[in-house]
Amino acid sequence: DIQMTQSPSVLSASVGDRVTLNCKASQNINKYLNWYQQNLGEAPKLLISNTNSLQTGIPSRFSGSGSGTDFTLTISSLQPEDFATYFCFQHDSWPGTFGSGTKLEIK
């Protein structure tokens, strides 16, 4: 199975900051990388699919980039509701595999 490595595991930031979360695949996954946001006790929410396709209703401050093995999720200006856990997921190879997550916490 393809291994997905996320970094950092914890990121401390302030409201208004620009932050970048990273996800690295153990082999080429083309563009087939999704990003999810998860708040405690809630269902994961798909933010971005296929590297950079913003889902309907997701604010434009979220963006994704990358290709091959290295991918990033950028939040341009953190809002209070953005403090959550984010994880990546590859669906290039069956079965899909997950990163271990980045917890975004308030500094």
Contact between 41 and another protein per CB under 8 A = yes
Contact between 98 and another protein per CB under 8 A = yes
CA distance 60 to 9: 24
CA distance 53 to 66: 12
Q: Which stretch binds another protein (CB under 8 A): 15-23, 59-67, 74-82, 94-102?
A: 94-102
- The number of beta carbons lying within 10 Å of the beta carbon of residue 75 is 21
Contact between 2 and another protein per CB under 8 A = no
Binding residue count for another protein, defined by CB under 8 A: 20
**Options 19, 29, 34, 71; binder of another protein; rule CB under 8 A:** 34
CA distance 77 to 94: 35
**Options 49, 51, 69, 85; binder of another protein; rule CB under 8 A:** 49
Contact between 57 and another protein per CB under 8 A = no
CA dihedral sign of residues 38, 59, 70, 31? positive
CB 13 within 8 A of CB 74: no
Which residues form the interface with another protein (CB under 8 A)?
34, 36, 41-46, 49, 87, 89, 91, 94-101
